[in-house]
Amino acid sequence: MTTSAKRHGTLPVAANDRSGPDASPRIKLYKRGIAILHADPQAGERLLAEALGAADRDALHGLLKQLVKASVTGRKPDEANLAFMISLVKSIAPKDSIEAMLAVQMVSVHAATMRSACRLALTDDIPQQESLTRALTRLARTFASQIEALSRHRNNGERAITVRNFSVQDGGRAIVGNVTQHASMIVAEPHAAAAAGLVPPREAGEYERAESRQGSNA
């Protein structure tokens, strides 16, 4: 079975697929530049800018050039791969320049990850397998870190934490999150704190033993 490399449009694959007038235009690659395929050049730039989260024309063309370089297959930029990467960036829906840059990095790392996976599957050389495995692992970790970075940026750098059954006496301090100094804290239910991930299980047991000693000394 063979498939044609030529694609003349985006085929709908789901009820919410966008293949109408507001669909992102495709990019035509030339030796000395790129062209946005749209009946209205200004509308085409606007649609692509919205898809990539670009603030202006300079940002749009800068991001496009970077995606073109990242779309290389067989040492040449690939239009189908570029369209795929643009579609992924659009699905991430970047809202500002930071999200736009991060989204482009994410799809580029994904493309590099899959290239490494393909090379790993095709080689029988042990040293090369080990090298590609390390590269694949690093790329996968980078991608996971990028997802976390995007999530934190969209939540204004905050991570939702639920605190339950904690009491702090006068003069004590309860600190939740990344801290640089020890927090003085009295825990009403140590095991609940351990389950919430705020107190390691070992430390929760130490709290109980400390309370028992205090009771016996009273």
Global pTM exceeds 0.85:
no
In percent, the amount of the chain with pLDDT more than 70 equals: 62
Q: How confident is residue 183, by pLDDT bands cut at 50, 70 and 90? A: very low
Q: How confident is residue 185, by pLDDT bands cut at 50, 70 and 90? A: very low
Within 8 A by CB and 6+ apart from 131, the residues are: none
106: pLDDT strictly greater than 70: yes
* C-alpha–C-alpha distance, residues 82 and 64, integer Å: 9
